[in-house]
Structure formats: C-alpha cells, structure tokens
Copies of this chain bind each other. A is one copy, B any other.
Amino acid sequence: MDKVFVKDLVEGETVTSFFLAKQVQVRQRRSGESFLTLVLADRTGEVPAVMWEGAEAAGRELAEGDILKVQGLLGTYQGERQLTVTRLRKAAPGEAALEDYLPRSPQDPGLLLARLRTAVEGIQEPFLQRLLQGLFADEAFLGAFTTAPAAKAIHHAVLGGLLEHTASVVGLCELLTGYYPALDRDLLLAAAILHDVGKVRELSWERTFDYTDAGRLLGHITLGTLLIEERIRAIPGFPEGLAERLLHCILSHHGELEWGSPKRPKTLEALVLHYAEDLDGKVNAFSHFVESHPDPQRPGWTQYNRSLDRYLFFGREPQPAPTPEA
C-alpha cells in the first residue's frame, strides 16, 4: 500500500494509510461516552484526529510512538483540519518505513559519504589514514553514521543530519587548510571527520529523535573519545603525541568549558575546528530557521529565535536602480 502523506490529505476524502501516533488520550463527553483524540504524524506534518467508536479498546492498545494503520475522513474543526477515524490498528513490524515518519536530509548520503572517503584518501599521515580507513570499513558504524541526526533539535535535526553536518565541516576545513598554511592539514581533516562520531551513541532515532541513557550520562564528546581511542589502541605503533593531539581536538571542539568541552582548544587545529564547527552549525540553523518562515521570499524578520536569543533579518531589499546618479 502506498503511503499517503499528511501534507497530501484532501478535505472531504477518505484515506487509508500508516501514520505515527502522538498525544494519545481517551476523554469523556458530558454524556459519559468515551472518545479518543490523538495526533497523526509523518515526516511531512501533523493532523489532529478523533475516533468516536471503540475508543476505550483502541486506547488500551495504543501508545505514543506507535505506527498505526488508519482509515478516516478529513474534515475541519474550529477552523483546522481534523481526521475522523473509522478504523485503526497497530502496524506490524516491517509494514511501514521509518523514513516516512522522520524528516530526512535532502542531500544524497551516497554522495556525502563519497566526499568523506575522498577526504580520507587525501590524508598523508599513515596512522591517521589507517585509523579512518578502519572506521569507514566498519559497516555497523557506517550504517549508524549515515542515518543519525546531528542533534535532537536546533540544527541538522534530520535523518542523515550527522553525515551532512560532518561533510559540511570537513569541506570548510579543507578550505581553511588551504588558507592558513600553518595548519597541520592531516590532523585537522581527521579531527573534522571524527569530531561528532560520538553522536551515533548519544542519540536514538527510532520514530523520534531522543537522547540515549549513555547520551545523557556521558555525552557525545566522551562517547566519541572512547570510540576513537579504542581504535587507536588497536593500531600498533600509533604515535602517542599524535593520538593526544587528535583526541584534544575532539574534546575541545565546543570551545569553552561552559559549552561542554572539558578542555578549551590549545592547538591551532583544535581552535580552527571549533570555529569551523560552530560557524557551520550557526549558518545551517540560520538558513533552516528562515526556510520555516511563512514567507521566506520577502525580506523581513523571523520569529524569535530561541537558540540565538534574537530575531533574525533575512533577504535582500528589491534591486535598486542599476546605477547611482553620477
């Protein structure tokens, strides 16, 4: 059965498709009868829903986060769309594709991964080369690394977001190594590729983006450090000083203690990685925030941006006359 997406639902038509359940609640009318309210969602949006018959039985079976097969009719209530549900059951495992329910990066993961592999191949330092080749040959790691979001919210909070963010930071660092010759190119690129790998253990992305227990208790900086150090230890002869400088870049990439780095950058590469990572995240967050504006084509002010604690101005004024007066 083809998935019908929330954004494509048509008022007055009946739909049968799979949706993710949110905010499930059994409520009671003054008359005493029960009814079920819930929100149905997929990666294209959300729609409130109500079920008048069989609410109690349905309510006992459902939990938030379930994927449901739903039959219903789209109407409106208080000026908003509402789906009146006539039938409903939990999806069997495999019936529905995760990617229909969580937003995904629009960029092609194959392409992004290829770009990272090219960066790996360009690294001259043999131990860093070997460390990265080992990681990129580990299918379990690669599966997680190419699927994980980069955050629960704020920036790159989409499936594939970690890969997209990593590739973007690596690209920026490649530019910067060309611009500042004092940088140790191999070290900076290796650190850029690895800086957020701990997120494959910090976050979970089944039906919803959330933190794992390890994520909340240890955090991606420590989880990444543990993951990398284990691989370094398995490579005989890996120079200790190189390992320390690489791990220092991972640890310090948030830049300041109060932003969660247990050490502040003390090498040129760590300093540059911090700026590159921070800048790329901010530019991405800015652009996404503007895209979510109702009318992103006309210059103006966004809603209040909580993470930057300010309003943002986007767009350019209409083109001026071609030449100023002489």
CB contacts (< 8 Å) of A320 on chain B: these are 125-127, 237, 239, 242
CB contacts (< 8 Å) of A236 on chain B: these are 324-325
A95 within 8 A of B: no
Q: How far is the CA of A61 from the CA of B271 in the complex (A)?
A: 39
Complex interface: stretch among A2-10, A114-122, A306-314: A306-314
Complex interface: stretch among A39-47, A144-152, A251-259: A251-259
The answer on a CB contact under 8 Å between B313 and A217 is yes
CB contacts (< 8 Å) of A301 on chain B: these are 213, 216
Instruction: Quote the shortest CB–CB distance from A6 to chain B (angstroms).
Output: 19
A156 within 8 A of B: no
| Chain B residue with Cβ nearest A317 | B241
Please name 18 further chain A to chain B contacts, defined as beta carbons within 8 Å, in addition to the given A175-B179, A267-B313, A275-B278, sorted by A numbering: A28-B76, A29-B78, A30-B77, A126-B320, A126-B323, A175-B175, A180-B283, A214-B240, A217-B245, A217-B267, A218-B248, A218-B251, A219-B262, A222-B262, A236-B324, A241-B317, A271-B282, A272-B283
Per-residue CB contact flags for chain A residues 182-226 toward chain B (1 = under 8 Å, else 0) read 101001000000000000000000000000011011110110011
Q: How far is the CA of A323 from the CA of B129 in the complex (A)?
A: 10
Known: A222-B262, A226-B226, A312-B267. A214 touches B321 (CB 8 A): no
The answer on a CB contact under 8 Å between A287 and B218 is no
Instruction: Quote the shortest CB–CB distance from A209 to chain B (angstroms).
Output: 16
Q: Which residues of A contact B (CB under 8 A)?
A: 25-30, 32, 34, 76-80, 125-127, 130, 171-172, 175-176, 179-180, 182, 184, 187, 213-214, 216-219, 221-222, 225-226, 229-230, 233, 235-242, 244-245, 247-248, 251, 257-264, 266-268, 271-272, 275, 278-279, 282-283, 286-287, 299, 301, 310-314, 316-317, 320-325
Q: How far is the CA of A310 from the CA of B271 in the complex (A)?
A: 12
The answer on a CB contact under 8 Å between B237 and A325 is yes
CB contacts (< 8 Å) of A222 on chain B: these are 222, 225, 247, 251, 262-263
The answer on a CB contact under 8 Å between A322 and B126 is yes
Instruction: Quote the shortest CB–CB distance from A9 to chain B (angstroms).
Output: 17
CB contacts (< 8 Å) of A261 on chain B: these are 262
Instruction: Quote the shortest CB–CB distance from A119 to chain B (angstroms).
Output: 15
CB contacts (< 8 Å) of A260 on chain B: these are 257, 262-263
